[in-house]
Amino acid sequence: MLWACLHFPYLPLDTLARADPGRAALAIATGDTRPRIVAANGPARVQGVHAGMSVAAALALTPELIVRPRNPRLEAQTLQEIAQWALQFSPMLSLSAADAVLLEIGAGLKLFAGLAAVLATIRTGLTALGITATVAAAPTPTAALMLARANKTQALTAAALLERQLSPLPIDTMVYSESILETLADLGVHSVGDLMQLPRDGLARRFGPALIDTLDRALGRLPDPQAPFIAPERFSSRLELPAPAWEAQALLFGAKRLHAALAGWLLGKGLGVMRLRFELIHEDCVPSVLTLKLSAPSRDPEHLGILLRERLARTQLPDRVEAIVLTAEETACLAAHNRSLFPGSEPTADTELCERLAARLGDDAVCALRPHADHRPEFAWRTGPYPTKDCALKPPAPRPLWLLSEPRALDTFLHEGHAQLVLMDGPERIESGWWEGGEVRRDYFIARARSGQTLWVFKRPGSGKNWYVHGIFA
């Protein structure tokens, strides 16, 4: 087995900073009576704000600094979102650590073209999510976690090298207790290698067996089971904005992060989304709800972003937006597409145009034609919401591609006599609708005009030379 660890040293900051393009100075502070800065983004650090500084001192340096209290609930939610996104790389995930995601990647290395490729893809994807992470790999999950916490971005594949590679790591990569760390420091133990030199029995008597067990699990001497992460059946994620926003551009930047997370979850599940629900959370009024309907399952973040931009362009916000909630209300299996033999001959995605029109003009402005079981041509179709799932009805005889809204007299249509027509097929008798007051009695023919047009013409039985044009064949 081979485990990858995604460690997030700036998780308290990333939970809010990832929704901001990075122009504003932002800092996260503790929530006690004398709050101190926990983390600061780039613009804040440039102005001298750093971790450990009091909030009062930070504001004295940077009056425009946005200070938000640390939110453990939001951090846990962000960690869950990252785990859902990581399902695309492995179904075996764990959230055993509060600041990391562990996933077994050994079984899928061939799928991702090797270890280096999968780790590079993970790092690129985390950047798209707006998350800063250290990614490391090792044969045991505990060893991978220790390497990542030590900021070692290495991939260790040989179990025989575990002891040598873990020895230089600081002892705090495997020990959480401050009291144990202080005691070990008093004993001159500062690295994992120093800990390995001490008598095991003495360590177990003084600090308990948990310390020795953790070391043995990291070195592969003991089994290292991890509690599995159970992904929710429906994707829903909330993104807090660092500052309330009116502008659509700020909302689109935050939504881009949610789209990337949704795409990873869909890929891991083998699904595409059919209907999305955006809730724009306001402080003093009910949320604004935007619904996006897709004509075909999709998990393309760029396409989803285009649809949201079109919808926001015609939405009047009643108040500033403080958070965005994205929910995948309807999903469907996403079938693989066959690639054409010759490049450039793939079918065009015409459905994307209809989706963009619906997002810009409204769902009612775009409709689909669906067949209706009626022999009368003018009543053999209906309009419905796009897309339609109805199957086409097979007509009893050839039908024209273009049906006129109302039949027109042949002489008026051609400006010439009907003698110029050559009848090619027919007659086809259509007699229907008598039971509802819309009786039709017609004999239809396929005819070729002198101009070269192929027409669908008819005459009423017993009407002599009164011919009408009802359709034009392609």
Judge whether 315 and 251 are in contact, CB under 8 Å.
no
Per 3-state DSSP, what percentage of the chain is helix, strand, and coil (rounded to 5)?
35, 30, 35
What does the alpha-carbon distance between residue 85 and residue 94 come to, in Å, rounded to a whole number?
A: 13
What pLDDT digit, counting tens, does each position of 127-168 carry? Answer: 999 899 999 999 999 999 999 999 988 888 888 888 899 999
3-24+64-161 is classed in which CATH architecture? Answer: 2-Layer Sandwich (3.30)
Flag whether the pTM goes above 0.75: no
In the chain, where the domains are located? 3-24+64-161, 236-360, 402-472
Q: How confident is the model at residue 395 (pLDDT cuts 50, 70, 90)?
A: low
* Structure-model confidence comparison of residues 351 and 430, the more confident one: 430
Residue 359: count other Cβ atoms within 10 Å of its Cβ.
Answer: 24
> Tens digits of per-residue pLDDT, 213-263?
989 999 989 998 899 998 888 999 999 888 888 877 778 888 899 999 999
Structure tokens at 166: 């873990």
Indicate if 236-360 has the same CATH topology as 3-24+64-161: no
Judged against a pLDDT cut of 90, whether residue 112 lies above it is answered with no
| Cα angle 156-158-159, degrees, rounded to a multiple of 5 | 105
* Rounded CA separation 132/9 (Å): 7
Contact predicate 20/48, CB 8 Å: no
In 3D space, the residue among 360, 379, 363 whose CA is nearest the CA of residue 371 turns out to be 379
d(CA 74, CA 237): 11
pLDDT digits (tens, 9 = 90+) for 331-377: 988 765 554 444 443 444 567 777 777 777 776 777 777 777 788 88
The pairing of strands 236-245 and 321-333 is antiparallel
Top pLDDT among 194 and 411 is at 194
User: Is the CB of residue 444 less than 8 Å from the CB of residue 426?
Assistant: yes
Q: Can you tell me the mean pLDDT for 81-93?
A: 91
Angle (CA) 114 2 127, round 5°: 65
Could you say which architecture CATH assigns to the domain 236-360?
A: 2-Layer Sandwich (3.30)
Contact 140, 224 (CB under 8 A): yes
User: How high is the pLDDT of residue 296?
Assistant: 81
Show the tokens assigned to 146: 């220790």
Give the pLDDT band (50/70/90) at residue 98.
confident
Non-local CB neighbours of 51 within 8 Å, separated by 6+ positions = 37, 38, 39, 40
| Residues 341, 346: Cα–Cα separation, whole Å | 9
- Write out the DSSP string of 344-402: T-SPP-HHHHHHHHHHHH-GGG-EEEEE-S-SSGGGSEEEEESSP-PPPPPPSS---SE
Which pLDDT belongs to residue 22? 65
What 8-state DSSP symbol labels residue 420? G
The DSSP string of 30-44 is --SSS-BEEEE-HHH
**Angstrom distance (rounded) from CA 104 to CA 123:** 16
